[in-house]
Amino acid sequence: MRLEKIILFIGLWFLSDAIFAQTEIRELENLRSELNQLIGRFDAQVGVGVKHLESGDTLTINNYFQYPTQSVYKFPLALAILKEVDLGKLTIDQKINITKEDLHSNTWSPLAKEYPNGNVDLTIEQLLSYTVSKSDNNTCDILFKILGGPKEVEKQMRDWGYFNIAIQTTEVEMHIGGDSAQQANWCQPFELIQMLEDFYLGKLISEKSTKILMLQMIETSTGEKRIKGLLPKKTITAHKTGSGNKVVNDVGIITLPDGTHLILSVFICNAKEEYEASEELVAKISKATYDFFVN
């Protein structure tokens, strides 16, 4: 009789676990349905990756497409630079002389506005801050040059096990080469989710380097109307944006009110909608996902 009760208990335990899993799946499908409704009304190619870090709940929409990264690729660039710092090949306070030839005026560059004639020394940390927090294209290419070019960053991604991402051209090359050069830098939304998770968990770079990059992503001043756009004002969001011809992207780590973390990536390309409408869509996707995991 006792053995029968044990068997019954085990059977009920597995049944309840299965019912719970089915409930979780159904609830995620509710979120998927809501996001698909938002995306379905929008004339563009839209990809979404979602992961609640602590629970492992995961969702993707239109993941298997090569979305142009634009400036989102400055996040893996920063990881590659900080890996070199951790290896002792660079130091975070190492100064790099910036010449006038390093600064192109026909691109997004807060640094060029501050120092139009160059002739300034910046540390690696300062270059990273301009590149990540301000999305400066000139400092991006300076960092690429320090590493030996975009393909060296891609090689580091392969070494870490990321194969659904390509990093082939600099900001200058994208500007000159147009769409084809821009499309040479691409990723799938969930690849960025995995990269952000590994980064946050300290699997890619040292704890010190992780803290530096997290702070710079939190201080990001671009894309205020994207992932952060409809979230509560004090929500801590570490993110990196990317923008280009018919392209609006944002990826990041959102700290929820209970202290858990939501990792989100949204990529929009081939958009026939207005630029502002694309940003609004990112904000709506972010808010719907945030509300789902908060409520």
The SS3 of residue 221 is coil
With contact defined as beta carbons under 8 Å apart, do 194 and 162 qualify? yes
Segment 167-172 long-range contacts (CB within 8 Å, at least 24 positions apart): 167/69, 167/73, 167/76, 167/77, 170/140, 170/141, 170/144, 171/107, 171/137, 171/138, 171/140, 171/141, 172/104, 172/107, 172/137, 172/141
Find the catalytic residue in 71, 109, 133, 209. 71
Is residue 71 annotated as part of the catalytic site, yes or no?
yes
**In this structure, what are the phi and psi dihedrals at residue 115, rounded to the nearest 5 degrees?**
-130, 70
Tell the residue number behind the tokens 């205020």, with chain if given: 224
| DSSP letter (8 states) at residue 188 | -
Structural tokens at position 92: 């975070």
Find the catalytic residue in 84, 154, 171, 191. 171
Is residue 278 annotated as part of the catalytic site, yes or no?
no
With contact defined as beta carbons under 8 Å apart, do 45 and 160 qualify? no
d(CA 74, CA 79): 9
With contact defined as beta carbons under 8 Å apart, do 165 and 157 qualify? yes
Query: What are the residue numbers of the active site?
Result: 71, 171
